[in-house]
Amino acid sequence: MAIGVKKCPECGGINLFLNKEKGEVICRDCGLVLEDKMVDFGQEWREFGEGGEGEESKRRTGAPMTYTQYDQGLVTKKKKKGDLFKLASKDRNKFFRLRKWQYRISTAIERNLKLALGELKRVSSYLKLPKSVEEESARIYTLAVQRGLVRGRSMESVVAGALYAACRRHEVPRALDELSEASGIEKKEIGRTYRFVTRELGITILPSNPADYIARFSSALKLSPETQSKAIEILEHAQNAELTSGRGPTGIAAAALYVSALIHGEKRTQREVADVAGVTEVTIRNRYKELLDELKLEKEIKKTKKKKK
């Protein structure tokens, strides 16, 4: 939901977005978070740490199990742990040993987290992501670690996957290419872990909306706000005409922006638009053609041409 009145105090941009669900306002130009009421994720893993002991029988995938999955060497201890629980009331030594293990395991996780969150922060600041996204991805990563999803994958790739997921959820999409460039992880690797992690954690991802890209592309091309809103309008028509499903959202966004720029006499070459959108001219041309066919925009373009003459 756009907020037309306010301006971003940081960059003066008008692309302020209110995310009602999260209760925050984000500037899409510079990533500044004006109001951030995100829940502190720290609470989540404390919950795991405390609840672990008594509920062994209740949850198969509860915290203690996943803690043990974190490290291969600890798996054997897990077996013993089952026995220990039966004896716990009788045998205090074993009980304390159990405590000791839990302590060690949780510090191992914390160490890993510390490392990973550093990496996450680095990538995040490289991409100039809002803080809310950073925290969201940190939460996702923490969950992933607790579930033992990192095993068999590099820490960095899971970080990248978590970031990608968080971006999508916050409607501040970054293309896989950008994540890839920032993190040094291959595109398909990020995609794989992203899919894996979101599936395992049951995170629902809304299909990314081309309109979410408009603001960023538009400011990269230094286009006027009018052009930008026109582009979004075009996008809406395109979606009604079912031109958007199955296509890459960046390509559609780029084409809409290109057309919109033509209409407002702020012509950019296909090359320029293609570069900031991370697609080729050909893709823009194809989408552009579809837009013209479907939305009878030729007239508007001709109008502005005549005006210029």
Q: By the criterion CB under 7 A, which residues form the site for DNA?
A: 187-188, 191, 246-248, 251, 267, 269-271, 278-283, 285-289
Identity of the residue, 150 or 277, whose beta carbon is nearer to DNA in the bound complex = 277
Give the whole-angstrom CA distance, residue 287 versus residue 33.
33
Provide the strand spans (E) within the chain.
Answer: 16-19, 24-27, 33-35
Identity of the residue, 46 or 188, whose beta carbon is nearer to DNA in the bound complex = 188
Give min distance, CB of 297 to DNA, in A.
12
Sheet hosting strand 16-19, strand order edge to edge: 16-19, 24-27, 33-35
Give the whole-angstrom CA distance, residue 297 versus residue 284.
16
Identity of the residue, 159 or 175, whose beta carbon is nearer to DNA in the bound complex = 175
Identity of the residue, 52 or 278, whose beta carbon is nearer to DNA in the bound complex = 278
Question: What does the chain come to in residues?
Answer: 309
Give min distance, CB of 242 to DNA, in A.
11
Give min distance, CB of 197 to DNA, in A.
14
Give min distance, CB of 296 to DNA, in A.
16
Give min distance, CB of 302 to DNA, in A.
11
Identity of the residue, 8 or 276, whose beta carbon is nearer to DNA in the bound complex = 276
Give min distance, CB of 237 to DNA, in A.
18
- With tokens 């809103």, the residue in question is 229
Q: Across the strands, what pairs with 27?
A: 16
Identity of the residue, 31 or 191, whose beta carbon is nearer to DNA in the bound complex = 191
Give min distance, CB of 303 to DNA, in A.
16
C-beta separation of 252 from 210 below 8 A: yes
Give Cβ neighbours of residue 215 (< 8 Å, ≥ 6 apart): 15, 28, 29, 228
Integer CA distances (angstroms), 306 to 231, 261, 286, 309, in order: 21, 15, 25, 5
Identity of the residue, 76 or 269, whose beta carbon is nearer to DNA in the bound complex = 269
Give the whole-angstrom CA distance, residue 80 versus residue 93.
13
Integer CA distances (angstroms), 175 to 155, 163, 167, 198, 249, in order: 20, 11, 9, 17, 10
- With tokens 């009604």, the residue in question is 240
